[in-house]
Protein backbone atom coordinates (compact mmCIF):
# COMPACT_ATOMS: atom_id res chain seq x y z
CA UNK A 1 0.00 0.00 0.00
CA UNK A 2 1.55 3.32 -1.03
CA UNK A 3 2.26 5.86 1.70
CA UNK A 4 0.25 9.05 1.29
CA UNK A 5 2.42 12.09 1.77
CA UNK A 6 1.27 15.63 2.45
CA UNK A 7 3.10 18.92 2.39
CA UNK A 8 3.15 20.68 5.74
CA UNK A 9 4.33 24.08 6.80
CA UNK A 10 5.74 23.58 10.28
CA UNK A 11 7.30 26.02 12.76
CA UNK A 12 10.50 24.44 14.02
CA UNK A 13 12.88 26.39 16.25
CA UNK A 14 11.17 29.68 15.32
CA UNK A 15 11.52 29.11 11.57
CA UNK A 16 8.87 28.06 9.08
CA UNK A 17 9.86 24.82 7.38
CA UNK A 18 8.00 23.11 4.53
CA UNK A 19 8.15 19.33 4.47
CA UNK A 20 6.46 16.64 2.42
CA UNK A 21 5.98 13.59 4.60
CA UNK A 22 3.40 11.05 5.72
CA UNK A 23 1.00 12.55 8.31
CA UNK A 24 1.64 9.69 10.72
CA UNK A 25 5.44 10.01 10.59
CA UNK A 26 6.74 10.52 14.15
CA UNK A 27 8.17 14.01 14.64
CA UNK A 28 11.44 12.39 15.75
CA UNK A 29 11.89 10.88 12.28
CA UNK A 30 11.09 14.20 10.66
CA UNK A 31 13.62 16.04 12.81
CA UNK A 32 16.47 13.59 12.45
CA UNK A 33 16.03 12.05 9.01
CA UNK A 34 14.29 14.77 7.01
CA UNK A 35 15.49 18.05 8.53
CA UNK A 36 18.81 16.93 9.99
CA UNK A 37 18.30 18.12 13.56
CA UNK A 38 20.00 15.20 15.31
CA UNK A 39 20.21 16.65 18.81
CA UNK A 40 16.96 14.87 19.71
CA UNK A 41 17.70 11.21 20.33
CA UNK A 42 15.88 7.93 19.70
CA UNK A 43 15.69 5.87 22.89
CA UNK A 44 12.87 3.35 23.22
CA UNK A 45 10.46 4.40 20.48
CA UNK A 46 7.46 3.86 22.77
CA UNK A 47 7.29 6.96 25.02
CA UNK A 48 8.90 5.15 27.92
CA UNK A 49 12.33 6.76 28.35
CA UNK A 50 12.14 10.48 27.53
CA UNK A 51 15.26 10.69 25.34
CA UNK A 52 13.23 12.11 22.43
CA UNK A 53 11.52 14.89 24.42
CA UNK A 54 10.86 18.11 22.51
CA UNK A 55 8.48 21.02 23.10
CA UNK A 56 5.23 21.17 21.17
CA UNK A 57 3.54 24.46 21.97
CA UNK A 58 5.58 24.49 25.17
CA UNK A 59 4.69 20.98 26.37
CA UNK A 60 7.35 18.29 26.75
CA UNK A 61 6.03 15.72 24.28
CA UNK A 62 7.67 12.45 23.34
CA UNK A 63 8.53 12.94 19.67
CA UNK A 64 8.92 9.21 18.98
CA UNK A 65 5.14 8.66 19.31
CA UNK A 66 3.82 12.09 18.28
CA UNK A 67 2.90 12.30 14.64
CA UNK A 68 3.68 15.17 12.29
CA UNK A 69 -0.03 15.82 11.79
CA UNK A 70 -0.34 16.79 15.47
CA UNK A 71 2.25 19.54 15.02
CA UNK A 72 0.36 21.41 12.30
CA UNK A 73 -0.25 24.99 13.46
CA UNK A 74 1.89 24.47 16.56
CA UNK A 75 5.45 25.41 17.44
CA UNK A 76 8.15 22.76 17.73
CA UNK A 77 11.23 23.55 19.80
CA UNK A 78 14.12 21.08 19.92
CA UNK A 79 17.30 21.10 21.98
CA UNK A 80 18.93 23.10 19.17
CA UNK A 81 16.30 25.83 19.63
CA UNK A 82 15.98 25.83 23.42
CA UNK A 83 17.83 29.11 23.53
CA UNK A 84 18.80 30.95 20.31
CA UNK A 85 22.16 31.92 21.86
CA UNK A 86 22.64 28.70 23.79
CA UNK A 87 22.50 30.56 27.08
CA UNK A 88 19.45 29.08 28.73
CA UNK A 89 19.99 28.93 32.52
CA UNK A 90 19.76 25.15 32.28
CA UNK A 91 22.54 25.02 29.69
CA UNK A 92 24.80 27.11 31.93
CA UNK A 93 23.97 24.99 34.94
CA UNK A 94 24.47 21.72 33.06
CA UNK A 95 27.94 22.83 32.02
CA UNK A 96 28.77 24.19 35.48
CA UNK A 97 27.75 20.98 37.27
CA UNK A 98 29.18 18.81 34.47
CA UNK A 99 25.98 16.78 34.40
CA UNK A 100 26.37 14.43 31.40
CA UNK A 101 28.30 11.18 31.41
CA UNK A 102 27.57 9.51 28.07
CA UNK A 103 25.16 12.34 27.27
CA UNK A 104 22.68 10.36 25.21
CA UNK A 105 19.62 11.20 27.32
CA UNK A 106 20.62 14.77 28.17
CA UNK A 107 18.74 16.58 25.39
CA UNK A 108 15.52 15.02 26.68
CA UNK A 109 16.48 15.80 30.28
CA UNK A 110 17.03 19.46 29.42
CA UNK A 111 13.77 19.80 27.52
CA UNK A 112 11.81 18.33 30.44
CA UNK A 113 13.66 20.49 32.96
CA UNK A 114 12.87 23.59 30.87
CA UNK A 115 9.13 22.97 31.26
CA UNK A 116 9.56 22.52 35.01
CA UNK A 117 11.48 25.80 35.39
CA UNK A 118 8.97 27.71 33.29
CA UNK A 119 6.02 26.47 35.34
CA UNK A 120 7.77 26.45 38.70
CA UNK A 121 10.73 28.87 38.95
CA UNK A 122 11.71 27.65 42.42
CA UNK A 123 11.24 23.89 42.38
CA UNK A 124 11.77 21.74 45.47
CA UNK A 125 13.41 18.31 45.28
CA UNK A 126 9.92 16.81 45.18
CA UNK A 127 8.91 19.07 42.26
CA UNK A 128 12.06 17.98 40.41
CA UNK A 129 11.18 14.32 41.02
CA UNK A 130 7.62 14.94 39.82
CA UNK A 131 8.86 16.55 36.61
CA UNK A 132 11.91 14.47 35.79
CA UNK A 133 11.08 10.91 36.82
CA UNK A 134 9.98 10.10 33.27
CA UNK A 135 13.45 10.77 31.86
CA UNK A 136 15.68 7.76 32.28
CA UNK A 137 19.47 8.00 32.47
CA UNK A 138 21.45 4.75 32.26
CA UNK A 139 24.56 6.47 33.59
CA UNK A 140 22.65 7.50 36.73
CA UNK A 141 23.31 11.23 36.57
CA UNK A 142 20.13 11.95 38.53
CA UNK A 143 21.83 13.65 41.48
CA UNK A 144 23.77 16.00 39.20
CA UNK A 145 20.59 16.73 37.23
CA UNK A 146 18.83 17.70 40.44
CA UNK A 147 21.75 19.91 41.51
CA UNK A 148 21.86 21.58 38.09
CA UNK A 149 18.14 22.32 38.10
CA UNK A 150 18.48 24.06 41.48
CA UNK A 151 21.40 26.04 40.10
CA UNK A 152 19.47 26.94 36.93
CA UNK A 153 16.59 28.17 39.08
CA UNK A 154 19.02 30.43 40.94
CA UNK A 155 20.50 31.72 37.65
CA UNK A 156 17.04 32.40 36.27
CA UNK A 157 16.08 34.28 39.44
CA UNK A 158 19.22 36.38 39.41
CA UNK A 159 18.73 37.27 35.71
CA UNK A 160 15.15 38.29 36.44
CA UNK A 161 16.38 40.65 39.18
CA UNK A 162 18.96 42.23 36.86
CA UNK A 163 16.51 42.87 34.02
CA UNK B 1 -44.63 -12.93 70.03
CA UNK B 2 -45.71 -10.21 72.49
CA UNK B 3 -49.38 -10.37 73.20
CA UNK B 4 -51.12 -7.00 72.97
CA UNK B 5 -54.53 -8.36 73.81
CA UNK B 6 -55.24 -8.97 77.45
CA UNK B 7 -58.44 -10.85 76.68
CA UNK B 8 -58.11 -14.60 76.72
CA UNK B 9 -58.23 -16.33 73.32
CA UNK B 10 -57.34 -19.64 71.80
CA UNK B 11 -53.73 -20.06 70.61
CA UNK B 12 -53.39 -19.22 66.90
CA UNK B 13 -56.58 -17.24 66.91
CA UNK B 14 -56.56 -14.63 64.06
CA UNK B 15 -58.42 -12.10 66.18
CA UNK B 16 -56.53 -8.79 66.75
CA UNK B 17 -57.69 -5.77 68.69
CA UNK B 18 -57.74 -2.20 67.28
CA UNK B 19 -54.89 -1.35 69.64
CA UNK B 20 -52.77 -4.13 68.07
CA UNK B 21 -53.16 -2.62 64.60
CA UNK B 22 -52.52 0.89 65.93
CA UNK B 23 -49.23 -0.15 67.57
CA UNK B 24 -48.07 -2.14 64.54
CA UNK B 25 -48.80 0.68 62.09
CA UNK B 26 -47.03 3.17 64.39
CA UNK B 27 -43.92 0.97 64.43
CA UNK B 28 -44.01 0.64 60.63
CA UNK B 29 -44.38 4.41 60.19
CA UNK B 30 -41.54 5.05 62.65
CA UNK B 31 -39.22 2.62 60.82
CA UNK B 32 -40.08 4.21 57.48
CA UNK B 33 -39.16 7.64 58.86
CA UNK B 34 -35.79 6.35 60.10
CA UNK B 35 -35.14 4.77 56.72
CA UNK B 36 -35.94 7.99 54.84
CA UNK B 37 -33.69 10.13 57.02
CA UNK B 38 -30.84 7.65 56.65
CA UNK B 39 -31.33 7.78 52.90
CA UNK B 40 -31.18 11.55 53.03
CA UNK B 41 -28.03 11.75 55.12
CA UNK B 42 -26.21 9.22 52.91
CA UNK B 43 -26.93 10.91 49.64
CA UNK B 44 -26.21 14.49 50.51
CA UNK B 45 -28.55 17.40 51.12
CA UNK B 46 -30.93 16.76 48.23
CA UNK B 47 -32.10 13.35 49.45
CA UNK B 48 -32.06 10.34 47.19
CA UNK B 49 -35.81 9.95 46.97
CA UNK B 50 -36.13 13.55 45.71
CA UNK B 51 -33.18 13.14 43.38
CA UNK B 52 -34.55 10.03 41.74
CA UNK B 53 -38.26 10.91 41.62
CA UNK B 54 -38.40 11.70 37.88
CA UNK B 55 -36.18 8.78 36.90
CA UNK B 56 -37.76 5.59 38.15
CA UNK B 57 -41.17 4.13 37.65
CA UNK B 58 -41.11 1.17 40.02
CA UNK B 59 -38.79 0.76 42.93
CA UNK B 60 -37.58 -2.79 43.05
CA UNK B 61 -34.59 -3.03 45.30
CA UNK B 62 -33.60 -6.56 44.25
CA UNK B 63 -33.48 -5.72 40.53
CA UNK B 64 -31.76 -2.42 41.20
CA UNK B 65 -29.07 -3.92 43.45
CA UNK B 66 -28.47 -6.81 41.07
CA UNK B 67 -28.09 -4.37 38.16
CA UNK B 68 -25.60 -2.27 40.10
CA UNK B 69 -23.45 -5.31 40.83
CA UNK B 70 -23.09 -5.69 37.04
CA UNK B 71 -22.22 -2.00 36.72
CA UNK B 72 -19.73 -2.39 39.56
CA UNK B 73 -17.88 -5.19 37.73
CA UNK B 74 -17.24 -2.81 34.84
CA UNK B 75 -16.29 0.17 36.98
CA UNK B 76 -13.79 -1.94 38.89
CA UNK B 77 -12.22 -3.39 35.73
CA UNK B 78 -8.75 -2.00 34.89
CA UNK B 79 -10.09 -0.03 31.92
CA UNK B 80 -12.19 2.10 34.27
CA UNK B 81 -10.47 1.85 37.65
CA UNK B 82 -6.95 2.58 36.39
CA UNK B 83 -7.92 6.23 35.95
CA UNK B 84 -9.92 6.35 39.20
CA UNK B 85 -7.14 5.38 41.64
CA UNK B 86 -7.26 5.86 45.40
CA UNK B 87 -3.99 7.80 45.34
CA UNK B 88 -2.58 10.43 43.01
CA UNK B 89 -0.73 8.01 40.75
CA UNK B 90 -2.68 6.57 37.81
CA UNK B 91 -2.65 2.80 37.35
CA UNK B 92 -1.59 0.82 34.29
CA UNK B 93 -2.17 -2.53 32.66
CA UNK B 94 -4.50 -5.40 33.46
CA UNK B 95 -2.75 -5.84 36.81
CA UNK B 96 -3.39 -2.18 37.70
CA UNK B 97 0.20 -1.44 38.69
CA UNK B 98 1.36 2.11 39.39
CA UNK B 99 1.94 4.10 36.19
CA UNK B 100 5.60 4.03 35.22
CA UNK B 101 7.58 7.25 34.85
CA UNK B 102 6.29 8.49 38.23
CA UNK B 103 3.28 10.19 36.62
CA UNK B 104 1.04 12.08 39.05
CA UNK B 105 -2.50 13.46 38.90
CA UNK B 106 -1.71 17.20 39.16
CA UNK B 107 -4.34 19.79 40.10
CA UNK B 108 -6.56 19.38 37.06
CA UNK B 109 -5.97 15.66 36.49
CA UNK B 110 -3.77 16.11 33.42
CA UNK B 111 -0.42 15.52 35.10
CA UNK B 112 2.47 17.69 36.21
CA UNK B 113 5.21 19.68 34.43
CA UNK B 114 6.96 17.46 31.87
CA UNK B 115 4.72 14.51 32.71
CA UNK B 116 1.34 15.58 31.43
CA UNK B 117 -0.95 12.88 30.03
CA UNK B 118 -1.03 14.34 26.52
CA UNK B 119 2.76 14.33 26.27
CA UNK B 120 2.68 10.59 25.56
CA UNK B 121 -1.00 9.69 25.11
CA UNK B 122 -2.17 10.69 21.66
CA UNK B 123 -5.71 11.12 20.36
CA UNK B 124 -5.84 7.43 19.42
CA UNK B 125 -4.28 4.13 20.49
CA UNK B 126 -0.83 3.51 19.07
CA UNK B 127 -0.29 0.04 17.59
CA UNK B 128 1.89 -2.49 19.41
CA UNK B 129 2.27 -3.95 22.89
CA UNK B 130 3.06 -1.46 25.69
CA UNK B 131 2.41 1.52 23.43
CA UNK B 132 0.40 4.36 25.00
CA UNK B 133 -3.37 4.04 24.63
CA UNK B 134 -5.01 7.22 23.42
CA UNK B 135 -7.96 9.56 23.57
CA UNK B 136 -8.13 13.33 22.96
CA UNK B 137 -9.34 13.83 26.55
CA UNK B 138 -6.97 11.45 28.36
CA UNK B 139 -6.87 12.53 32.04
CA UNK B 140 -7.69 11.61 35.61
CA UNK B 141 -10.37 13.27 37.71
CA UNK B 142 -9.07 16.54 39.17
CA UNK B 143 -7.47 16.77 42.62
CA UNK B 144 -10.51 18.47 44.15
CA UNK B 145 -12.92 15.78 42.90
CA UNK B 146 -10.99 12.52 42.74
CA UNK B 147 -13.98 10.23 42.13
CA UNK B 148 -12.09 7.24 43.49
CA UNK B 149 -13.23 3.76 42.38
CA UNK B 150 -10.26 1.75 43.66
CA UNK B 151 -11.05 0.10 47.00
CA UNK B 152 -14.73 1.10 47.06
CA UNK B 153 -17.33 -1.55 47.92
CA UNK B 154 -20.46 -1.76 45.75
CA UNK B 155 -22.40 0.02 48.50
CA UNK B 156 -19.86 2.86 48.74
CA UNK B 157 -19.48 3.29 44.99
CA UNK B 158 -23.23 3.38 44.36
CA UNK B 159 -23.70 6.11 46.95
CA UNK B 160 -20.69 8.02 45.59
CA UNK B 161 -22.05 7.92 42.04
CA UNK B 162 -25.31 9.49 43.19
CA UNK B 163 -23.71 12.20 45.31
CA UNK B 164 -23.15 15.37 43.28
CA UNK B 165 -20.46 16.42 45.74
CA UNK B 166 -18.47 13.31 44.82
CA UNK B 167 -19.51 12.49 41.25
CA UNK B 168 -18.26 15.55 39.40
CA UNK B 169 -21.46 17.52 40.05
CA UNK B 170 -23.48 15.29 37.73
CA UNK B 171 -27.25 14.90 37.78
CA UNK B 172 -28.69 11.44 37.13
CA UNK B 173 -29.21 12.41 33.49
CA UNK B 174 -25.64 13.68 33.19
CA UNK B 175 -24.37 10.44 34.73
CA UNK B 176 -26.30 8.38 32.19
CA UNK B 177 -25.06 10.61 29.35
CA UNK B 178 -21.49 10.27 30.65
CA UNK B 179 -21.47 6.48 30.69
CA UNK B 180 -23.40 6.27 27.42
CA UNK B 181 -21.52 8.63 25.15
CA UNK B 182 -18.39 10.13 26.72
CA UNK B 183 -15.56 9.13 24.40
CA UNK B 184 -13.20 8.58 27.31
CA UNK B 185 -15.64 6.05 28.83
CA UNK B 186 -16.17 4.43 25.44
CA UNK B 187 -12.44 4.09 24.91
CA UNK B 188 -12.46 1.39 27.61
CA UNK B 189 -14.06 -0.90 25.03
CA UNK B 190 -11.39 -0.22 22.40
CA UNK B 191 -8.30 -0.88 24.52
CA UNK B 192 -4.76 -0.68 23.22
CA UNK B 193 -3.03 -3.86 22.06
CA UNK B 194 -2.63 -6.48 24.78
CA UNK B 195 -5.17 -4.94 27.18
CA UNK B 196 -8.47 -6.57 28.15
CA UNK B 197 -11.92 -5.11 27.69
CA UNK B 198 -14.36 -4.59 30.61
CA UNK B 199 -16.34 -7.74 31.52
CA UNK B 200 -19.62 -6.56 29.91
CA UNK B 201 -20.23 -5.09 26.48
CA UNK B 202 -20.82 -1.34 26.52
CA UNK B 203 -24.45 -1.94 25.61
CA UNK B 204 -24.93 -4.37 28.50
CA UNK B 205 -23.18 -1.92 30.83
CA UNK B 206 -25.49 0.94 29.83
CA UNK B 207 -28.53 -1.34 30.13
CA UNK B 208 -27.47 -2.41 33.63
CA UNK B 209 -26.85 1.21 34.62
CA UNK B 210 -30.29 2.26 33.37
CA UNK B 211 -31.86 -0.74 35.11
CA UNK B 212 -30.20 0.31 38.35
CA UNK B 213 -31.54 3.87 38.01
CA UNK B 214 -35.01 2.86 36.78
CA UNK B 215 -35.59 0.62 39.76
CA UNK B 216 -34.60 3.14 42.34
CA UNK B 217 -30.78 3.41 42.22
CA UNK B 218 -30.61 1.29 45.35
CA UNK B 219 -27.11 0.73 46.69
CA UNK B 220 -26.17 -2.89 47.41
CA UNK B 221 -26.04 -3.80 51.09
CA UNK B 222 -22.91 -2.63 52.94
CA UNK B 223 -21.85 -6.20 53.68
CA UNK B 224 -21.88 -7.00 49.93
CA UNK B 225 -18.19 -6.92 49.05
Reported ipTM: 0.95
Contact B115 A134 (CB under 8 A): yes
Backbone angles phi, psi at B115, to 5 degrees: -120, 60
Which residues, in sequence order, are CB contacts of B28 under 8 Å at separation 6+? none
Which chain B residue's Cα is nearest to A110? B114
Longest dimension (CA), chain B: 85
CATH code: domain A6-81 is: 3.10.20.30
pLDDT lower than 70: segments of chain B: 1-59, 225
**A·B CB contacts under 8 A:** 67
Which chain A residue's Cα is nearest to B119? A61
10 Å Cβ neighbour count for B215? Answer: 22
- State how far the Cα of B85 lies from the Cα of B9, in Å rounded to an integer: 64
Backbone angles phi, psi at B64, to 5 degrees: -65, -45
Model confidence, pTM = 0.84
Which helix (H) or strand (E) segment holds residue B208: the answer is helix B202-214
Given this model, what pLDDT does residue B132 score?
97
- Residue ranges per structural domain of chain A: 6-81, 89-162
Compute mean pLDDT per 10 residues along chain A, 163 residues long, and list them.
86 97 97 98 98 98 98 97 94 98 98 98 98 98 98 97 89
Residue B126 in contact with partner chain A when CB distance is under 8 A: yes
Measured between CB atoms, which of B104, B114, B130 is closest to A115? B114
CATH T-level topology, domain A89-162:
DNA polymerase; domain 1 (1.10.150)
Contact A113 B130 (CB under 8 A): no
Amino acid sequence: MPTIENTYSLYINRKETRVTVSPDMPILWLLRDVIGLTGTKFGCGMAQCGACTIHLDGEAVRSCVTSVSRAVGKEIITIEGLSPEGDHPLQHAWAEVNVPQCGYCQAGQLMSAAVLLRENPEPTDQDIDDAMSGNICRCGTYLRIRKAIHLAAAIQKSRAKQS
Amino acid sequence: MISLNHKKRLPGSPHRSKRYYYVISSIVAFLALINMSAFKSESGSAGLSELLKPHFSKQDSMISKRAFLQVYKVLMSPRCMNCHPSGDIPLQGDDSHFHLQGVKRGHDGTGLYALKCGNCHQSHNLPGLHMPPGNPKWHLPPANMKMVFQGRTPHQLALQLLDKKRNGGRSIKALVDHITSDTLVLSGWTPADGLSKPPLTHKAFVNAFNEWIKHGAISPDPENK
